[in-house]
Structure 1
């Protein structure tokens, strides 16, 4: 059954990406007209089937150009900013995208009188972090708070889902490599969260079901170490690989060597991020600023990973090595 349109328009920056496609689907199901603001609208046609005819449309916008941002939110009732990068390339730097870009969106909202802004950041955002990624995320949050105090900020932990860049990356590596590196010994703790749960949280926030001006930390139901995540991935893909401990110091040296390569498997900044656990804080739990606080029961890794990691098994979905366990 199709939800009737509510007559309201939401602009979603970065709506064609990994998280974006899930957020667009949730908002469409909630009856919003969705304007997807992206650098390449011609690459966003895959979003059309997520809504009814004419409900979802893409417009060109680049966070480095405030005029395009202002144009993208014209007439909108709400705004969602999902834009973020895991590594820098050319003009797409952490500061340009995650600090300057976040400020551009928030200031455009302020000028347009839009207070219903949801900004997706990340657990680990820290102005004093040695990692540029974390510092730029913190700068983006500060800019959002300054321009639109009522904005809701969402900080997810490591995301998993069919298009993720975490489990897919290491499962692909395990196809060819006889071993997998455990940076820092694999002791870093994560709280992997299903991308659809994060999208649902964003949808509820846009609909006013989150506390205005609050920062939510979104994690799944389980805290797992890097090593435990790798073991689970190898079990699901039915592959036996040696897990080799790689001290942070050595990892940073190797990262400096390979980070300039196209599609670099590791950067110095990513190594620095792994030096800090990535889990929901006790402060957020006590305040109810979590998925559970929004009335969402987070999905487990075991329920989702087998639905897409099967393609990394030697014999695919029906690999007897996996089903025999």
Structure 2
């Protein structure tokens, strides 16, 4: 990396700052001396702000451009993490991911924002047949055509305590009596990236002038089949389950039914994500950011039975 091409943001506005990635990133940014403001969507529920840090907050919808301009006062960099996928089948991806991004861009142009970084997914494509990936692709296109300085980071699946990946599937494995259904043979490839590695990449990306106008794909050091990943989860949890291969159309129908159950752990969007391989170059993070990513199976201690209480004390939800 060319250290002469480093930018130091004055104040950073983070959308989605109370989510899984957002909390970890905000804590990292503040620990490194950055000034951060979190954008909170209006809600009757008290937001779960990152613990142990002092952070500014602004309450505003992504569709409220006037409110967004006020939230951007004194801000020069925006990190856009907000998305609707956590709500699974109840998500309005057009409202949050697409129109929300357009509202953010409109306000950013009027507020004189110098840089926007957007966290997207591997496989994002505005003509994708899969709703989540299509929404992410449309949001990317809004940024690319905005005239603003942007950086898009397309990430592989992210894992860590409180995630929507290992945590969700570990709960599903525990709920399964003796077997777990997997699409096809569970052969689709994923490239899990550890949450701390991801936030390090995002923090470095906003300081890199050479990454302006770039779309970067990142992932972990290894490509694992979904079946291998579930085996690692079961080993960490100390349980055993058999695999039952089910055709994707049948599993989609079952997932749509299960999604009606309050608190069902796995989002229906996982079937879209598992439909094809979701990988990039294995050296993507070391080559771009000079970081050696953690290996998947070495970071699953938070799933072991003995770690539950300590994980809860750290503020993670399992």
Please tell me the TM-score bracket, short chain as reference: 0.7 to 0.9
1:1-325 maps to which residues of 2 (within 5 A)?
A: 8-39=10-41, 43-44=46-47, 46-47=49-50, 49-50=52-53, 56-86=55-85, 88=87, 92-177=91-176, 178-208=178-208, 211-265=211-265, 269-280=269-280, 290=285, 292-306=287-301, 308-311=302-305
Cα drift, residue 88 of structure 1: 4.8
Q: Which runs of 5+ in 2 are unaligned?
A: 1-7, 311-318
* Distance (Å, rounded) in 2 between the aligned partners of 1:32 and 1:272: 36
CA–CA distance in structure 2, aligned partners of residues 209 and 185 of structure 1 = 43
Deviations 1:97-118 (A, max 9, x none): 1111112212222222212111
4+ aligned runs moved over 6 Å, structure 1: none
The one-character-per-residue Cα deviations of 1:143-181 (angstroms, maximum 9, x if unpaired) are: 011114520001111110011111111211222312111
Q: Give the whole-Å Cα distance in 1 for the aligned partners of 2:298 and 2:291.
A: 16
Number of residue pairs the alignment of both structures matches: 301
Structure 1 residues 63 and 312: CA distance shift in structure 2, 3 A: farther
For each residue in 1:22-66, what CA deviation from the matched residue of structure 2 results, as whole angstroms up to 9, or x when unmatched? Answer: 11122112321110111258844642523xxxx521110211322
SS of the equivalent of 1:121 reads strand
Aligned partners of 2:36 and 2:268: how far apart in 1?
Answer: 37
Deviation at 1:121, TM superposition (A): 1.0
Runs of 5+ consecutive residues of structure 1 not aligned to the other structure: 1-5, 318-325
Q: Aligned partners of 2:88 and 2:238: how far apart in 1?
A: 35
Mapped contact 2:98–2:138 kept (Cα < 8 A): yes
Two-structure CA RMSD over aligned residues (Å) = 2.6
Higher RCO (C-alpha under 8 Å, 6+ residues apart) = 2
Q: Is the 8 A contact 1:109 1:148 kept in 2?
A: no
Please report how far the alpha carbon of residue 67 of structure 1 lies from its aligned counterpart in structure 2 after TM superposition. Answer: 2.3
Mapped contact 1:179–1:242 kept (Cα < 8 A): yes
Deviates more, 1:185-194 or 1:59-68: 59-68
**Matched residue, 1:321:** none
Counterparts of 2:160 and 2:270, CA distance in 1:
20
TM-score for the superposition, normalised by structure 1 = 0.84
Quick check: 1:160–1:166 contact (8 Å CA) kept in 2? yes
